[in-house]
Structure 1
Amino acid sequence: MNKTDIFKIAIVGPESTGKSTMSAYLAEHYRTVWVPEFARAYCEGLTDTPTWQDEINMFNGQLALEYELLPKANKILICDTTFITVKIWSEYTFGKAPQEVLDELPKHTYDFYLLLNIDLPWEHDPLRDFPHMREHFMDVWYKELRELNARYELISGNGPERYANAISAIDKFLATQ
C-alpha cells in the first residue's frame, strides 16, 4: 500500500474540544497511527509567546511528522489538527499567515475533517489561551473549511456519544469511497 491509498482524516476545532483524546481513540478503534499536534510539544519548550519564526517552525514540524507517520498508517491516518492551525493563530496574533503556509494549503489536502464542537466544558491547560473566544474560533474553523471546500462533519456530544458520532461520520465517509 502506498501513501495515496491512505485516507487522511483531520481532527480539528478550537481549543479544548478534545482533539488529541479523539485522535488517540480513533487511531485505536481503526487500528492505525495518529499524528500528534506538533505545536503542543513545541510550545511546551518555549519560555515566551510564540514568534513568527516559531509559527513557521510549527508548520514545518507538523508536515514532517505527518510525512513520517503516513507510511505506518493502516488505511487511515488520523491527524490531530493540521497546519491550518498555524494559519489561524498567525492571522489572529500577527494579522497575517506565513506565505509558505498559504502556498501549501491548497496542495496539502485531507480527505475528511471532523470539526469538534465547543459543546465540551473548557479545561484549563497552560498552553490554552482563549476560553472566552471559543465561539469566535469555531466560526473561524467553519470559514477555513468552507474556503478549502473541505468535506467535513461537525461532531458534538459528550463521552461515548461523541466518540460514536465520530466513528459514524468516518464510517459513512469510508462507505462512499
Structure 2
Amino acid sequence: MRKKILFLATFFIFGTLLSNAQEASYGIRIGANLSSINSNDIPKDLEDSRFGIIVGFLAEYPVTEKWSVQPEFQYSSLGNDDKSLNVDYLQVPIFLKYNFSDLFNIHIGPQVGLKIWEWEDDNIIETKFNTFNIAAIGGIGVNITENFFADLRYGFGLSNIIDDKNIPEGAKGNTRNIQLSFGYKL
C-alpha cells in the first residue's frame, strides 16, 4: 500500500510540474544495459550479467532554468545471461533533472516496468517473473552538442520480480543494471 501511495504522489507532483512547463523538447535514445537479478535464490552458476539493449523516447519539460522533468517510454532487456533468466520490459521512468550547465546534468527518479516477454520452456507452465517491476534510477548526462547527448545510469529494483509459484516459497529477487545510452533531441 505504501508503494502505491508513493507512486501516486510522484505522478501527482510531476503532473503539477508538467502543467507549468514551457519549451518542451523531445528525443530518442538507444543504448546498452548490463543487468542482473540480485537474489540469494538463484544458483551461483546462473548469476552472470546479461548484456541487453534499451530503446526509447523522451520529453523534457523545463521547470526553472536549472531544473526540468523528463518522462520517458522505453523498451529494456534485463535479467541474467542464462536465457532462462531473460526478461524484457516496457518502462516508464520519470526523472527530476538538474542541469549544472549546458554540458552536464544529473537525474533521478522512479521507474515502472511492465513485463512484455520472458524466456519460456515447454516444460514450464507458470511464469517465473512478476508482471511489474518498480525501480529507482539515477544518472549523469552529457550534452555532446545541442542535439546529441549521452547518459550513464544505474537502476536498482525496489520490487520483487520473482514469481515464486514454480520455485521455493518466499523466493525474492530484484533487478540491477548499468545503462549507457546515446540520444538525439529534436
Whether TM-score is above 0.5 comes out as no
- Pick the structure with more helix per residue: 1
- Pick the structure with more strand per residue: 2
TM-score normalised according to structure 2 size: 0.25
Instruction: Name which one, 1 or 2, has greater alpha-carbon Rg.
Output: 2
Q: Which has the higher contact order (CA 8 A, sep 6+)?
A: 1
